[in-house]
């Protein structure tokens, strides 16, 4: 069995001896993450402190370059005329 250099755990920072070259977690952290699929770990995401300001910023960022090219008035009539142009006259 090959000996590897001691590594620092990516989760808790403790030093451990890895059993293979790709191992990044110490045995204790690995057991915790595999047992409950990381459910026991604290969440690192924190929501915005001011939701109204965050929403306003998102709207400004997403609608800055948005242009509405659809003209709704008379749309159905234009589509009917366009379809009749393509099809041509029908003999009755």
Encode pLDDT of 62-83 as tens digits.
887 777 777 788 888 999 999 9
Is the pTM of the predicted complex or chain greater than 0.85?
no
Per-residue pLDDT reduced to its tens digit, 42-63: 666 777 889 999 999 888 888 8
CB 30 within 8 A of CB 13: no
Torsion of the alpha carbons at 15, 35, 33 and 22, rounded to the nearest 10:
60
pLDDT at 16 over 90: yes
CB 82 within 8 A of CB 76: no
What is the model's pLDDT at position 82? 92
User: How many Cα atoms sit within 13 Å of 1 on the Cβ side?
Assistant: 6
Tell me what the pLDDT averaged over the chain comes to.
83
């Amino acid at each position: 069995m090959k000996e590897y250099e001691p590594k620092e755990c990516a989760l808790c920072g403790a030093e451990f001896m890895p059993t293979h070259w790709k191992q990044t977690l110490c045995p204790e952290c690995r057991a915790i993450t595999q047992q409950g699929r990381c459910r026991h770990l604290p969440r690192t995401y924190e929501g915005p402190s001011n939701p109204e300001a965050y929403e306003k910023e998102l709207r400004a960022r997403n609608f800055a370059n948005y242009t509405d090219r659809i003209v709704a008035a008379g749309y159905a009539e234009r589509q009917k005329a366009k379809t009749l142009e393509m099809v041509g006259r029908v003999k009755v």
